[in-house]
């Protein structure tokens, strides 16, 4: 049943919806900010406008935009309005529509996980003046049953190889440390994210030792507190480790550990609601956009698209609401690739900028919880073995969480979140038992699976606007370290939206252009 937005329609009168659209478009012009396009923003010819199949009574908008055939269009519009008001019509003013998203929103954030909420928080915090921007967060699953945030192991570290990643992580740690100042809401209890400051321990074999040394150098330069340890020092410090095959280890002393991601998510949600961000329980099914052809400085023809409306379909219903928006932020996590396709990213001949798709796809990862009564003690850091297997302590009861990333050939089918227990037996347990002999006797208590929003290009995030779909911004593709960079990424995207450039941390290496230009920002320390 298509919904008819009638109250605004009735009050339009002289101004008409058409003028509202123009006003909307001029705001779009202001937000865009970046010049250099020689294309014109005159209403495009009808063949490029995607017609929506809505109530015919709402054709007023399209008519206003086309600017021709006004007389006939207006008369038929008025006739249809009168018909709907009469008893058999579609007008039902007393129906409750509070579950629907608003008709207009300045920013629509697709995805309500930690990244999306972080972007919403920083947009609201950095906007000038306060209350200037209306932000809508669209999340299709309010239980977060498949969201990567809720299923994450929750670690945070600065031991990356790319300096931008280290800076993002450092700021996020500072955010988490002062979380009760950033996310304080009146009359609500302070957040306890249960941070374990136990640090990360990365082990390297002979082959990886040189890379690890150079990584640690970069990390120290950025301000991370990491130290290198030889196998002997490792044995002195952690007697439960078997250092056979380990040439070098890097140990994070401070600002590293793990925390409760659900608490962060709920804290952000609560705070963001109190700041006036609107939430919508629905799914984005369509983008209505317009295109215009323009020439680049080198004379090539490109098609620029601008998203005008986001169609949000309600949960378990066919009803949808078109939300007119100025910007769309793609923070849909593992499903960002699908959202990008809907927006027209990658529709073109391969090898061109238009044909470059967003290389983010779902990858399933398993996490196992086991109990080992003689296992490593309270001081256990988050250990990442050279083979890629990792584990950490969980609580006081000698329980451990761990897993391993499968190789490319063994990637499980991401269609569902079923856990493969044989994977633990074959791929996770042997390297861990070899590294920690106490793990020879353990008992798996439970396991779960979650998705990585895996960036197949270089396993680093994509942040910033798309060069062709000019009002879609990305904040996705973090391949397993999105949670620990979420506060900083949110701030970076908000700065990009509000100021047009990155202010605090320069994330220009993470822009979308690199997929077309082929400039990989390869992150080596991915688990």
Partner 1 sequence: MAAPRAPLHLVTPVWNRGTRGTRGLSRAVAPEGSQKKGRSLLQFLADRFYDVQALREYLLRKQVLKVHQKNRPFTYIRERFGPHAAGAYFILKQGGAVKFQGKEWIRSDARGHFSLDFLKFQAVPVEAVDASGCAINYQGLDSVCEWAETAGLFICPSVVGSRKDHSASPPPPTVALKELQSLWLQRCPHVDDWCLGRLHPLANSLQELSLAGCPRISERGLASLHHLQNLRRLDISDLPAVSNPGLTRILVEEMLPSCQVLGADWAQGLPSGPEEQSRDTASPLPA
Q: Tell me if 269 contacts partner 1 by CB under 8 A.
A: no
For the chain, what's the residue count? 527
* CB 181 to partner 1: min, Å: 5
| 220 touches partner 1 by CB under 8 A | yes
Q: Does 228 bind partner 1 (CB under 8 A)?
A: yes
434 binds partner 1 (CB under 8 A): no
Part of the chain binding partner 1 (CB under 8 A), chosen from 86-94, 173-181, 298-306, 411-419:
173-181
State the pairing for strand pair 382-384/155-156.
unpaired
CA angle 366, 371, 373 (to 5 degrees): 150
Size of the site for partner 1 (CB under 8 A): 56
Select 53 or 98, whichever has its Cβ closest to partner 1: 98
Cite the beta strand spans of 456-506 per DSSP E.
Answer: 462-465, 472-476
Which C-beta is closer to partner 1: that of 90 or that of 211?
A: 211
Direct distance between the N- and C-terminal alpha carbons of the chain, in angstroms, rounded to an integer: 46
User: For tokens 């378990």, what's the residue?
Assistant: 316
The CB-of-197 to partner 1 minimum distance in angstroms stands at 3
- Of 295, 341, 379, 499, the one binding partner 1 (CB under 8 A) is 379
Give per-residue burial for 317-340: e unless 16+ CB within 10 Å, then b: eebbbbbbbbbbbbbbbbbbbbbb
Q: Segment contacting partner 1 (CB under 8 A): 223-231, 301-309, 328-336, 338-346? A: 223-231
- Which of 76, 266, 274, 399: binder of partner 1 (CB under 8 A)? 274
With beta carbons less than 8 A apart as the criterion, state whether 169 and 488 touch: yes
Of 57-65, 180-188, 464-472, 511-519, which part binds partner 1 (CB under 8 A)? 180-188
Task: Kindly indicate which of the ranges 148-156, 227-235, 362-370, 417-425 contains the residues binding partner 1, using the contact rule CB under 8 A.
Answer: 227-235
Establish if 186 lies at the interface with partner 1 (CB under 8 A): yes
**195 vs 452, beta carbon nearer partner 1:** 195
- Please name the residues in contact with 334: beta carbons below 8 A apart, sequence gap of 6 or more: 148, 360, 361, 362, 363, 414, 451, 452, 453, 454
| CB closer to partner 1, 191 vs 331 | 191
Contact in structure between 90 and 243 (CB atoms under 8 Å): no
Among 31, 275, 288, 498, binds partner 1 (CB under 8 A): 275
- What is the nearest approach in angstroms of partner 1 to the Cβ of residue 358? 31
**Buried b / exposed e across 261-289, counting CB within 10 Å, b at 16+?**
bbbbbbbbbbbbeebebbbbbbbbebbbb
What is the C-alpha separation between 359 and 340, in angstroms, rounded? 10
Q: How far is the CB of 237 from partner 1 (least distance, A)?
A: 5
Q: Is 225 a binder of partner 1 (CB under 8 A)?
A: yes
CB-CB contact of 481 with 454 (8 Å) = no
At 351, list the tokens. 């090898």
Q: Which of 1, 186 has the CB closer to partner 1?
A: 186
204 exposure class (CB count in 10 Å sphere: 0-12, 13-18, 19+): buried
β-bridge pairing 155-156 and 200-204:
unpaired
CA–CA dist 245, 387 (Å, integer)? 10
Site for partner 1 in 91-110 (CB under 8 A): 98
For partner 1, give the closer residue by CB, 229 or 404.
Answer: 229
231 is a site residue for partner 1 (CB under 8 A) = no
Q: What's the closest the beta carbon of residue 228 comes to partner 1, in angstroms?
A: 5
Asked whether position 8 contacts partner 1 by CB under 8 A, the answer is no
The span of 67-75, 146-154, 232-240, 400-408 binding partner 1 (CB under 8 A) equals 232-240
* Smallest distance, partner 1 to C-beta of residue 122, A: 12
Exposure letters 439-454 (e unless 16+ CB within 10 A, then b): beebeeeebbbbbbbb
Could you list the residues that contact partner 1 (CB under 8 A)? 98, 125, 130-131, 177, 180-190, 192, 194-199, 213-214, 216-217, 220-221, 225, 227-230, 233, 236-237, 248, 251, 253-255, 257, 271, 273-279, 377-380, 396
């Amino acid at each position: 049943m298509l919904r008819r937005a009638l109250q605004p329609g009735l009050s339009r009168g002289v101004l008409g919806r058409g003028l509202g659209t123009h006003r909307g478009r001029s705001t779009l012009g202001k937000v865009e900010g970046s010049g250099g396009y020689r294309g014109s923003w005159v209403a495009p010819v009808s063949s490029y406008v995607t017609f929506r199949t809505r109530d015919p009574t709402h054709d007023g908008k399209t008519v206003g935009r086309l600017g021709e055939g006004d007389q006939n269009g207006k008369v038929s519009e008025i006739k249809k309005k009168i018909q709907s008001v009469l008893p058999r019509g579609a007008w039902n003013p007393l129906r409750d529509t509070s579950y629907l998203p608003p008709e207009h929103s300045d920013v629509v954030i697709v995805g309500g996980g930690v990244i999306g909420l972080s972007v919403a928080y920083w947009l609201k915090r950095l906007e000038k003046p306060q209350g200037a921007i209306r932000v809508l967060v669209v999340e299709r699953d309010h239980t977060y049953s498949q969201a990567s945030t809720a299923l994450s192991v929750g670690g945070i570290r600065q031991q990356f190889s790319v300096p931008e990643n280290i800076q993002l992580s450092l700021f996020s740690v500072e955010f988490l440390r002062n979380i009760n100042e950033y996310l304080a809401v009146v009359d609500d209890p302070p957040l306890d994210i249960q941070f374990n400051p136990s640090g990360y321990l990365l082990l390297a074999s002979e082959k990886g030792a040189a890379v690890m040394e150079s990584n640690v150098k970069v990390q120290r330069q950025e301000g991370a507190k990491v130290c290198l340890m030889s196998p002997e020092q490792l044995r002195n410090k952690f007697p439960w480790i078997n250092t056979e095959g380990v040439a070098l280890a890097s140990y994070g002393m401070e600002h590293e550990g793990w925390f409760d991601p659900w608490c962060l998510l709920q804290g952000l949600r609560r705070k963001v609601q109190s700041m006036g961000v609107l939430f919508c329980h629905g799914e984005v099914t369509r983008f209505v956009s317009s295109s215009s052809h323009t020439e680049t400085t080198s004379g090539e023809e490109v098609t620029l698209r601008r998203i005008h409306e986001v169609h949000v379909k309600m949960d378990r219903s066919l009803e949808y609401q078109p939300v007119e928006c100025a910007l769309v932020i793609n923070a849909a996590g593992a499903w960002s690739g699908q959202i990008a396709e809907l927006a027209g990213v990658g529709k073109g001949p391969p090898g061109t900028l238009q044909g470059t798709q967003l290389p983010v796809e779902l990858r399933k990862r398993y996490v196992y919880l086991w109990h080992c009564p003689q296992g490593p003690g309270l001081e256990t850091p988050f250990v990442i073995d050279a083979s890629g297997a990792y584990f950490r302590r969980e609580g006081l009861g000698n329980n451990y969480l761990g897993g391993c990333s499968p190789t490319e050939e063994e990637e499980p089918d991401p269609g569902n979140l079923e856990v493969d227990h044989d994977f633990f037996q074959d791929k996770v347990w042997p390297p861990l038992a070899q590294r920690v002999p106490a793990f020879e006797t353990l008992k798996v208590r439970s396991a779960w699976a979650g998705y990585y929003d895996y960036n197949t290009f270089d396993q680093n995030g994509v942040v910033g606007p798309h060069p062709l779909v000019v009002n879609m911004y990305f904040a996705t593709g973090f391949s397993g370290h999105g949670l620990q960079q979420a506060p900083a990424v949110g701030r970076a995207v908000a700065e990009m939206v509000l100021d047009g450039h990155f202010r605090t941390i320069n994330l220009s290496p993470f822009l979308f252009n690199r997929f077309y230009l082929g400039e990989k920002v390869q992150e080596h320390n991915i688990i």
